[in-house]
Amino acid sequence: MIDSDFPPEWSAQKKAQARSDFLKKLSLESHRFYAGKMQTLPRVPVGDPDWWNVWYTPGISALSTAIRADNEASFALSSRGNLVAVVSDSTRVLGDGDCTPAGGLGVMEGKALLMKYLGAVDAVALCADTRHKDGSPDPDKLIEFVKMIQPSFGAINLEDISQPNCYRVLDELQDACDIPVWHDDAQGTACVTLAALLNALLLAEKNLEDARIVFIGAGAANSTVARFIIQAGGKPENIILFDANGALYAGRNDIPPEFYRQRELCKTTNPRNIQDPAEALRGADVLIALSAPGPNRIPADWIRNMRDRPIVFACANPIPELWPADAKEAGAFIVATGRGDFPNQVNNALCFPGILKGALAVRARKITDSMAIRCAKALAEYSRQRGIDPDHIIAAINEPDLFAYEAGAVAEVAVQEHNARVIRTFDEVYKHTKKDIEAVHNLVEDMQNRGHIETFPLKIVDSIKEEIINVYKNQ
């Protein structure tokens, strides 16, 4: 739904809220029409009946014994080498909280769709019921579940796992598994946020080492953003984080041990023990908010008191903590959100297809922080090569060659760190990924042209538009 569909007298905020409701209703109806987003298709010839003897018994016995002799052969002799499990216990699905085990399927299928179309990575949505009898999450069961399925996959993408379990599940699985385990809500968000911040600082004529940065929200995403920024050169003494109970600082004693990422940040950030967000933002260069959806959770006055050319990332979804127009009016030089209908969308979809493809391309055993930070820098570099300005600090999701560029950069680091089973250069991975992505795009286009993917009925779209406009007319 575009702005021209709305009455011209509506404010930008009203249009944004109406657009969100429209997209939610359209999503529900389109998923019902298509019965989900993904399907399984063969990649081999099957028309000749003799091929069945090759793809299954008796010929398949050769694969079983070959893999038995060398499990590493499974990456080359099966789809494992390009296959990711998107795993969730659905305890924190987007901004909707606990949605029951099956409730996360829509998001997990969405991740699989983005991986396939953007990065030419095959993926399977796996929502696991790993809960106690009372319905509470059991991280031990989830960890054990992933350990059990890892022989079938080349990598694991963890998704929508509530705090503090998300930290423990990721860290334990990274140590226990011999394939990459990636937590997109935390690492993916941090990767893209760092990329966007590097370019925003460049445009503002500031540098990461000297920038004063305030975080509103200290959950899995923002705590990882802060950690990546520090590893990339930001100074912890210039960083202040706020969670729902106040500032993180050395004297905080109410943070449970299982929130160890936040406890680590308490030791290194906010050495002046500043307790008030308004005071913290006075003279700050950057505000990064990943907290509860807004609007107006961040007062515009906080922005007015920031240093010259302030950078504001208000990335709660679906409604940012502060509307971009209000941030701009308060003096923000650059504003980013998590939404695609405002300038500068900071969305983890800009990195996870590329980083997973790069890890798979060299059969990496891990995705290290240095691989993720290199992906962030590759995203920033790619964006600069095609041109940046205050309303375009980062590449869009449909930019040509973006994910191939990221994949090459990530694979290069994996090889340098002796973390790869297969040695391939940047150029080899880049060209291979670009070819794979083009093949996927051509396949989807062909399926649409031939009617194997039906066209969604326009009358349903128009009906939803009319319904939403009528609801908002009276508000």
Is 24 tagged catalytic? no
- What distance lies between CA 58 and its chain's CA centroid? 43
Cα separation, 132 vs 101, in Å, equals: 12
Query: Is beta strand 213-216 parallel, antiparallel or unpaired with respect to 286-289?
Result: parallel
For the stretch 420-426, contacts whose Cβ atoms lie closer than 8 Å and that sit 24 or more positions apart, written own/partner, are: 420/362, 420/363, 420/364, 420/365, 421/72, 421/75, 421/362, 421/363, 421/364, 421/365, 422/361, 422/362, 422/363, 423/362, 424/361, 424/362
Catalytic residue among 111, 116, 357, 434: 111
199, 381 in Cβ contact below 8 A?
A: no
Per the CB < 8 A criterion, the answer to whether 336 and 395 are in contact is no
Q: What is the three-class DSSP state of 240?
A: strand
Give the closest residue to 352 by CA, choosing from 220, 131, 159.
Answer: 159
* Residue tagged active-site, from 24, 34, 56, 267: 56
Phi-psi region at 155: left, alpha or beta (left = phi > 0; alpha = psi -120 to 50): beta
- How many CA atoms lie within 13 Å of 80's alpha carbon, on the beta-carbon side? 19
Residues 6+ apart with CB under 8 A from 394: 192, 195, 196, 199, 336, 344, 345, 346, 350, 379, 380, 383, 388
Active site residue 472: no
Beta-bridge mates of residue 246: 243
Residue closest to 166 by CA, chosen among 116, 226, 232, 91: 91
Token digits of residue 107: 């998001």
Q: Which of 177, 137, 175, 135 is nearest to 153 (CA)?
A: 177
Parallel/antiparallel/unpaired status of strands 239-243 and 246-247: antiparallel
Distance, CA of 328 to CA of 68 (rounded, Å): 61
Instruction: List the catalytic residues.
Output: 56, 111
